[in-house]
Amino acid sequence: MGDGSGDGTRESQLVHTLVRLADTLVDTYDVVEVLQTLVENCVSLVDAQAGGIILSDQGRPLEVIASTSEETRLVELIQLSAGGGPCVDCITSGVVVSVPDIATLPDRWPLFRERAEQGGFAAVHAVPLRSRGTILGSLNVFWSAPLRLDPESAAVVQGLADVATISILQERSLRESELAREQLQHALQSRIVIEQAKGVVAFQLDVGVEEAFTLLRDHARSHGERLSDVAARVVARELDV
Protein backbone atom coordinates (compact mmCIF):
# COMPACT_ATOMS: atom_id res chain seq x y z
CA MET A 1 0.00 0.00 0.00
CA GLY A 2 1.08 3.60 -0.43
CA ASP A 3 2.71 3.03 -3.80
CA GLY A 4 3.09 6.73 -4.54
CA SER A 5 0.53 6.84 -7.37
CA GLY A 6 -1.53 9.96 -8.02
CA ASP A 7 -0.15 13.47 -7.80
CA GLY A 8 3.27 12.33 -6.59
CA THR A 9 5.13 9.90 -4.36
CA ARG A 10 3.91 9.33 -0.85
CA GLU A 11 7.03 11.08 0.40
CA SER A 12 6.22 14.24 -1.53
CA GLN A 13 2.59 14.06 -0.43
CA LEU A 14 3.71 13.74 3.18
CA VAL A 15 6.01 16.75 2.89
CA HIS A 16 3.17 18.75 1.32
CA THR A 17 0.85 17.70 4.15
CA LEU A 18 3.33 18.70 6.87
CA VAL A 19 4.01 22.06 5.23
CA ARG A 20 0.29 22.72 4.91
CA LEU A 21 -0.32 21.82 8.55
CA ALA A 22 2.62 23.92 9.71
CA ASP A 23 1.14 26.91 7.88
CA THR A 24 -2.08 26.54 9.87
CA LEU A 25 -0.38 26.54 13.27
CA VAL A 26 -0.59 30.26 13.94
CA ASP A 27 -1.85 32.13 17.00
CA THR A 28 -5.49 32.08 15.86
CA TYR A 29 -5.57 28.59 14.39
CA ASP A 30 -8.76 26.53 14.62
CA VAL A 31 -7.89 23.26 16.40
CA VAL A 32 -10.87 21.40 14.94
CA GLU A 33 -10.02 22.44 11.38
CA VAL A 34 -6.35 21.47 11.79
CA LEU A 35 -7.23 18.02 13.15
CA GLN A 36 -9.85 17.48 10.45
CA THR A 37 -7.33 18.34 7.74
CA LEU A 38 -4.74 16.09 9.38
CA VAL A 39 -6.97 13.01 9.56
CA GLU A 40 -8.14 13.46 5.95
CA ASN A 41 -4.54 13.60 4.74
CA CYS A 42 -3.60 10.62 6.89
CA VAL A 43 -6.34 8.52 5.27
CA SER A 44 -5.08 9.46 1.82
CA LEU A 45 -1.42 8.82 2.63
CA VAL A 46 -1.95 5.25 3.85
CA ASP A 47 -4.64 4.29 1.31
CA ALA A 48 -7.29 3.91 4.00
CA GLN A 49 -11.03 4.38 3.67
CA ALA A 50 -11.71 6.48 6.76
CA GLY A 51 -10.21 7.97 9.89
CA GLY A 52 -10.99 9.88 13.04
CA ILE A 53 -9.54 11.49 16.15
CA ILE A 54 -10.79 11.05 19.70
CA LEU A 55 -9.73 13.55 22.38
CA SER A 56 -9.56 13.28 26.14
CA ASP A 57 -9.71 16.38 28.34
CA GLN A 58 -8.16 15.46 31.71
CA GLY A 59 -10.86 13.33 33.28
CA ARG A 60 -13.74 14.55 31.12
CA PRO A 61 -15.58 12.09 28.85
CA LEU A 62 -13.84 11.17 25.60
CA GLU A 63 -15.12 13.00 22.51
CA VAL A 64 -14.89 12.43 18.75
CA ILE A 65 -13.21 15.64 17.55
CA ALA A 66 -12.68 14.82 13.85
CA SER A 67 -13.83 12.17 11.39
CA THR A 68 -13.80 11.68 7.63
CA SER A 69 -17.28 10.17 7.41
CA GLU A 70 -20.43 9.71 9.40
CA GLU A 71 -19.79 5.96 9.56
CA THR A 72 -16.39 6.58 11.16
CA ARG A 73 -17.92 8.88 13.75
CA LEU A 74 -20.59 6.31 14.61
CA VAL A 75 -18.01 3.53 14.99
CA GLU A 76 -16.02 5.71 17.37
CA LEU A 77 -19.10 6.85 19.28
CA ILE A 78 -20.19 3.25 19.90
CA GLN A 79 -16.79 2.62 21.48
CA LEU A 80 -17.22 5.64 23.76
CA SER A 81 -20.69 4.45 24.70
CA ALA A 82 -19.52 0.89 25.39
CA GLY A 83 -16.38 2.06 27.18
CA GLY A 84 -14.17 -0.14 25.04
CA GLY A 85 -12.82 -0.86 21.58
CA PRO A 86 -9.42 -0.53 19.90
CA CYS A 87 -9.56 3.28 19.78
CA VAL A 88 -10.61 3.64 23.42
CA ASP A 89 -8.15 0.98 24.57
CA CYS A 90 -5.40 2.83 22.70
CA ILE A 91 -6.11 5.88 24.89
CA THR A 92 -6.44 4.01 28.19
CA SER A 93 -3.33 1.90 27.59
CA GLY A 94 -1.25 4.56 25.84
CA VAL A 95 -0.01 2.10 23.21
CA VAL A 96 -0.77 1.42 19.56
CA VAL A 97 -3.72 -0.93 19.01
CA SER A 98 -3.84 -2.55 15.57
CA VAL A 99 -6.55 -4.96 14.42
CA PRO A 100 -5.68 -6.44 10.99
CA ASP A 101 -9.00 -8.29 10.69
CA ILE A 102 -11.97 -7.07 12.71
CA ALA A 103 -14.01 -10.15 11.76
CA THR A 104 -11.62 -12.40 13.69
CA LEU A 105 -11.87 -10.42 16.94
CA PRO A 106 -12.85 -12.45 20.00
CA ASP A 107 -15.85 -11.36 22.09
CA ARG A 108 -13.82 -8.63 23.76
CA TRP A 109 -15.45 -5.77 21.80
CA PRO A 110 -18.72 -7.17 20.38
CA LEU A 111 -20.46 -3.81 19.89
CA PHE A 112 -17.46 -2.33 18.11
CA ARG A 113 -17.08 -5.35 15.84
CA GLU A 114 -20.78 -5.30 14.89
CA ARG A 115 -20.88 -1.56 14.17
CA ALA A 116 -17.55 -1.58 12.30
CA GLU A 117 -18.70 -4.39 10.02
CA GLN A 118 -22.01 -2.60 9.42
CA GLY A 119 -20.01 0.46 8.42
CA GLY A 120 -17.94 -1.54 5.95
CA PHE A 121 -14.71 -1.56 7.96
CA ALA A 122 -12.48 -4.64 8.21
CA ALA A 123 -9.27 -3.32 9.81
CA VAL A 124 -8.27 -0.51 12.18
CA HIS A 125 -5.02 1.03 13.44
CA ALA A 126 -5.17 3.34 16.47
CA VAL A 127 -2.22 5.47 17.64
CA PRO A 128 -2.16 7.45 20.92
CA LEU A 129 -1.67 11.22 20.93
CA ARG A 130 1.01 11.44 23.58
CA SER A 131 2.68 14.42 25.24
CA ARG A 132 5.27 13.91 27.98
CA GLY A 133 3.55 10.82 29.34
CA THR A 134 0.04 12.30 29.06
CA ILE A 135 -2.37 10.71 26.58
CA LEU A 136 -4.49 13.37 24.88
CA GLY A 137 -6.45 11.04 22.58
CA SER A 138 -5.98 8.77 19.59
CA LEU A 139 -5.65 8.95 15.81
CA ASN A 140 -7.63 6.08 14.27
CA VAL A 141 -7.48 4.80 10.68
CA PHE A 142 -9.88 2.28 9.09
CA TRP A 143 -9.71 0.07 6.00
CA SER A 144 -12.52 -1.73 4.14
CA ALA A 145 -10.50 -4.95 3.74
CA PRO A 146 -8.36 -6.95 6.20
CA LEU A 147 -4.89 -5.43 6.34
CA ARG A 148 -1.71 -5.76 8.39
CA LEU A 149 -0.16 -2.30 8.26
CA ASP A 150 3.39 -2.24 6.89
CA PRO A 151 6.13 -0.50 8.95
CA GLU A 152 6.42 2.47 6.58
CA SER A 153 2.70 3.20 6.70
CA ALA A 154 2.67 2.73 10.47
CA ALA A 155 5.45 5.31 10.70
CA VAL A 156 3.39 7.76 8.62
CA VAL A 157 0.40 7.39 10.96
CA GLN A 158 2.64 7.78 14.00
CA GLY A 159 4.23 10.90 12.53
CA LEU A 160 0.86 12.51 11.88
CA ALA A 161 -0.30 11.54 15.36
CA ASP A 162 2.70 13.47 16.69
CA VAL A 163 1.73 16.45 14.54
CA ALA A 164 -1.82 16.24 15.92
CA THR A 165 -0.41 16.40 19.43
CA ILE A 166 1.71 19.40 18.55
CA SER A 167 -1.26 21.15 16.97
CA ILE A 168 -3.20 20.77 20.22
CA LEU A 169 -0.49 21.87 22.60
CA GLN A 170 2.23 23.80 20.74
CA GLU A 171 5.33 24.96 22.59
CA ARG A 172 3.53 27.58 24.66
CA SER A 173 0.91 25.02 25.70
CA LEU A 174 3.65 22.68 26.86
CA ARG A 175 4.87 25.48 29.16
CA GLU A 176 1.42 26.61 30.27
CA SER A 177 -0.82 23.72 31.31
CA GLU A 178 -3.80 26.00 31.87
CA LEU A 179 -3.66 27.15 28.24
CA ALA A 180 -3.47 23.52 27.11
CA ARG A 181 -6.63 22.69 29.03
CA GLU A 182 -8.41 25.72 27.62
CA GLN A 183 -7.48 24.77 24.04
CA LEU A 184 -8.70 21.21 24.51
CA GLN A 185 -11.94 22.38 26.09
CA HIS A 186 -12.47 24.89 23.27
CA ALA A 187 -11.95 22.14 20.71
CA LEU A 188 -14.52 19.90 22.37
CA GLN A 189 -17.07 22.71 22.71
CA SER A 190 -16.51 23.72 19.09
CA ARG A 191 -17.18 20.18 17.90
CA ILE A 192 -20.55 20.13 19.70
CA VAL A 193 -21.58 23.32 17.90
CA ILE A 194 -20.34 21.94 14.56
CA GLU A 195 -22.43 18.78 15.02
CA GLN A 196 -25.47 20.94 15.74
CA ALA A 197 -24.80 23.04 12.65
CA LYS A 198 -24.49 19.92 10.48
CA GLY A 199 -27.97 18.91 11.62
CA VAL A 200 -29.39 22.35 10.88
CA VAL A 201 -27.91 22.47 7.36
CA ALA A 202 -28.89 18.87 6.63
CA PHE A 203 -32.49 19.63 7.61
CA GLN A 204 -32.70 22.97 5.80
CA LEU A 205 -31.23 21.72 2.53
CA ASP A 206 -32.47 18.11 2.74
CA VAL A 207 -28.95 16.69 2.36
CA GLY A 208 -26.88 14.12 4.25
CA VAL A 209 -24.84 15.15 7.27
CA GLU A 210 -21.56 14.59 5.43
CA GLU A 211 -22.62 16.94 2.61
CA ALA A 212 -23.81 19.42 5.24
CA PHE A 213 -20.35 19.34 6.85
CA THR A 214 -18.71 19.91 3.45
CA LEU A 215 -20.92 22.96 2.89
CA LEU A 216 -19.96 24.38 6.27
CA ARG A 217 -16.24 23.90 5.61
CA ASP A 218 -16.46 25.33 2.10
CA HIS A 219 -18.21 28.44 3.41
CA ALA A 220 -15.64 28.91 6.18
CA ARG A 221 -12.71 28.52 3.78
CA SER A 222 -14.12 30.72 1.03
CA HIS A 223 -14.86 33.52 3.51
CA GLY A 224 -11.67 33.15 5.54
CA GLU A 225 -13.60 32.32 8.71
CA ARG A 226 -13.11 29.76 11.46
CA LEU A 227 -15.24 26.65 11.05
CA SER A 228 -16.46 26.88 14.64
CA ASP A 229 -17.56 30.51 14.15
CA VAL A 230 -19.52 29.64 11.01
CA ALA A 231 -21.18 26.74 12.83
CA ALA A 232 -22.18 28.97 15.74
CA ARG A 233 -23.82 31.47 13.38
CA VAL A 234 -25.69 28.70 11.59
CA VAL A 235 -27.01 27.32 14.88
CA ALA A 236 -28.06 30.84 15.95
CA ARG A 237 -29.91 31.19 12.61
CA GLU A 238 -27.70 34.14 11.68
CA LEU A 239 -26.27 32.48 8.57
CA ASP A 240 -27.47 30.27 5.73
CA VAL A 241 -24.82 28.29 3.80
CA distances 41 to 14, 48, 119, 161, 178, Å, are 8, 10, 21, 12, 30
- Note the pTM of the prediction, 2 decimals: 0.73
Domain layout of the chain by residue ranges: 10-175, 176-241
Q: 50: how many CB neighbours lie within 10 A of its CB?
A: 24
Distance (Å, rounded) from C-alpha 234 to C-alpha 37? 21
pLDDT tens over the chain, length 241 residues: 444 344 458 777 777 777 777 766 665 667 788 889 899 999 999 999 999 999 986 666 789 999 999 999 999 999 999 989 999 999 999 999 999 999 998 888 999 999 999 999 999 999 999 988 889 999 999 999 999 999 999 999 999 999 888 887 764 454 465 666 777 888 888 989 999 999 999 999 999 999 999 999 999 999 999 999 999 999 999 998 8
Torsion angle, alpha carbons of 240, 34, 191, 47, to 10:
100
Given this structure, which CATH class describes domain 10-175? alpha beta
Whether the CB-CB separation of 87 and 111 falls below 8 Å is answered with no
Beta bridge partners of 142: 50, 124
CA distances 232 to 22, 66, 219, 220, 237, Å, are 26, 17, 13, 12, 9
Please give the pLDDT value at position 87: 96
CATH number of 176-241: 1.10.10
